[in-house]
Amino acid sequence: MSLTVLLTIICLSILALFSSIILYFIAQKFKVFEDPRIDEVQAVLPAANCGGCGFAGCRNFAEALVKAETFEGLNCPVGGATVMGSVAKLLGKEAPQVDPTVAVLLCNGTPEFRPRTSRYNGASDCRISHNLYIGETDCSYGCLGLGDCVRACTFDAIHMNSETELPVIIDDKCVSCGACVKACPRKIIELRKKAKKDRKIYVTCSNCEKGGPARRACKVACIACGKCVKVCAFDAITIENNLAYIDANKCTFCRKCVTECPTSCIIEVNFPPRKSVIEVEAGVVNDNPNV
């Protein structure tokens, strides 16, 4: 080895040594103390960084959990009870009981039920169409079909069905983070309590107009006739602003309201077929792979 090479190696090694010593001392001097538990909690969290907990990412949520006195109001919808239980054990706190939920679209206005009365030709964005006008139909509350919810979902749980022009939510993939709820400008996606076997009964309408105009705009609109309220033995259905709503906590899935509804706007999902069948032509039911 020539002198040049030797000198180069020695000089660079000394430089490297000096730099590492300086860096070490600087790192020590400017070290930010962080509770080591934050790292432990973060390791347990699902690392989806979806914001469903209301915080900006899993690390942020981990910090909040460590700092919090109780877990009141803190829940990871993606990890659910298992993750919250592990975190609780780690931090020596109580995990609250939170019912799992799933996203549900409160609209069944397919082109067959809800005729198109104009053609929207602007940018393909629900918010833009919503700000512009009533939409391609006569219902100013219904789904616009341009996919803001699909784009907001980071779990691949919503897809647009090109025939029904409505988004379809895949229950298995939905983690209830709430991104689609926030994204929808008409606020017609709801997080409803998950029942066993993914069963659901709900009113597939968000139209608050009086029965006449609502029905003229869409065949399966809720006309607020009140028959469902009368037939429900569990007080689960209320009518407000010309629109019926089923409380998932009170509903026992007796399905009487589904049969009673004259416009077929209450639907049952994931139930076995009945003995006396009233065919419900809901686009959503037909698409469900579990039926």
Q: Which of 73, 122, 226, 262 binds other proteins (CB under 8 A)?
A: 122
CB atoms within 10 A of CB 223: 22
Closer residue to other proteins (CB): 42 or 129 = 129
| Residues 6 or more apart whose Cβ sits within 8 Å of residue 247 | 236, 237, 238
**Binding of other proteins by 118 (CB under 8 A):** yes
Q: Quick check: 119 binds other proteins (CB under 8 A)?
A: yes
At CA 280, angle to CA 278 and CA 286, rounded to 5? 135
Judged on CB neighbours under 10 Å (0-12, 13-18, 19+), 254 is middle
Least distance (Å) between residue 149 CB and other proteins: 15
Residues near other proteins (CB under 8 A), total = 17
Of 37, 116, 219, 256, the one binding other proteins by CB under 8 A: 116
Contact 134, 185 (CB under 8 A): no
CB of 140 or CB of 263, closer to other proteins? 140
Here the tokens at position 140 are: 């100013």
Distance of CA 59 to the CA centre of its chain: 21
Interaction mask 124-163, other proteins, x per CB under 8 A: -x-xx--xxxx-x---x-----------------------
Query: Which range touches other proteins (CB under 8 A), out of 25-33, 58-66, 122-130, 220-228?
Result: 122-130
Q: Is 182 in the site for other proteins (CB under 8 A)?
A: no
Count Cβ atoms below 10 Å from residue 2 Cβ, excluding itself. Answer: 7
Scanning 29-37, 115-123, 191-199, 246-254 for contacts with other proteins by CB under 8 A, the matching segment is: 115-123
Please, which residue, 2 or 121, has the CB nearer to other proteins? 121
For residue 69, what are its two tokens? 């006195």
Q: Alpha-carbon distance 58 to 40, whole Å?
A: 12
Q: Of 113, 122, 177, whose CA–CA distance to 142 is shortest?
A: 113
| Interface ranges with other proteins (CB under 8 A) | 116-123, 125, 127-128, 131-134, 136, 140
